[in-house]
Structure 1
Amino acid sequence: MAGKFRAGRIALGLSAVITVAGCVAEMRNHGYVPSPEDLGQVVLGVDTRDSVIETLGTPTTQGVSGDDTVYYVYKQVRHFGFLEPEILDRQVVAISFSPDGTAQNVERFTLADGRVVALTRRVTDNTVRNTTFLRQLLGNLGRFDAGTLLGE
């Protein structure tokens, strides 16, 4: 009897440890943003795209409309148990280039500068309402015209 009581206490203790371990906040860092000192090395009007990448490292992404902007993105997220992840910090450094290929502007955006973008969902409305596949299949049986099947 004492062995069962001891095994129960061990199981209870293990479940408590697992429960507490699941509630520990986990911090995740994603991406890279150059430090202000590194950004100070970029000379506007002189540095080119290649020299900027050589100085600051490979950008996170580049502009999709051409070679006019590179982006360095960093995000810090806290995961806490089963709760929704919380973004603690977000920084974006955008370096734009003029048409002649030299660095034109360096901008830094933070989480406070962000805006919520409402996405709209456009879905094609289907004409089938509450109809099963079998009902659709059998419903089409009476719609055939013998004249069109025989080529008349």
Structure 2
Amino acid sequence: MALPPRPVNPPCPFRAMSPQRSGSAGWRAALALSAALAAAPLAGCGVFSAPEQLRGNRADAELLQQLTPGVSSKADVTAVLGSPSATSTFDDREWYYISAMSHTRPARVPAIENQRVVVVRFNDQGIVEGIVQKGEDQMRNVSAVERTTPVPGNDRSLLQALFGNIGRFGPTTTQETVPGANAGSGAPPR
């Protein structure tokens, strides 16, 4: 019985591990890993961004067309637009509908876009006199004042605040003695 001839180089089941291809496979794996790491920071740019949110009471153009100056009343405006975001400070003749679109950006403060203010003016009878729309280009930035109001008193350190009452008050007496009064009589002092 004759044995079959043995192959000189047996086939390797692990071609990727063979010495001829290990350099190119390692290069491909490193390239794929670096591409994945480079794309990771870009993942939050568009796909995972937060949706826009409406803030305030938006008075759209379609809703404003339903209101007619000289005809519509305050009840009509409330039925169409809802309650106002703010009213005039000293009288109830101007209603303000303030709105903005915002979206939260990753690791940042929310971005405000498309701010609008709709001013509805009424006459003395409560009928609409006019409707004015104001956009971002007509608004003014108002900066807050950074001053503080001084408080009367002295500035105390932390230790003074903690131990400030020690020794501040003297011993209290329950009964004062009046010169010339009889202490043993039990009569109240004068």
TM-score, normalisation: structure 1: 0.67
Deviations 1:43-87 (A, max 9, x none): 212221112222x23134241433212222221112111112111
User: Whose strand fraction is larger, Structure 1's or Structure 2's?
Assistant: 1
Alpha-carbon shift at residue 32 of structure 1 (Å): 3.3
Residue 127 of structure 1 aligns to which amino acid in structure 2? N
Structure whose CA Rg is larger: 2
Query: Separation in 2 of the partners of 1:25 and 1:74?
Result: 21
User: Whose helix fraction is larger, Structure 1's or Structure 2's?
Assistant: 1
For the 8 Å contact 2:58–2:98, the answer to whether it is kept is yes
1:25 aligns with 2:52: no
Distance 1:29 1:150, change over 3 A: same
SS at match of 2:165: helix
Query: Separation in 2 of the partners of 1:104 and 1:76?
Result: 28
For the 8 Å contact 1:93–1:108, the answer to whether it is kept is yes
Aligned to 2:77: 52
Q: Percent identity?
A: 17
Q: Aligned residues, how many?
A: 134
TM-score, normalisation: structure 2: 0.56
Distance 1:73 1:128, change over 3 A: same
**Residue in structure 2 matching 1:135, options 153, 159, 163:** 163
Distance 1:38 1:145, change over 3 A: same
Structural RMSD (CA): 3.3
| Structure 2 stretches lacking a partner, 5+ long | 1-35, 179-190
For the 8 Å contact 1:59–1:71, the answer to whether it is kept is no
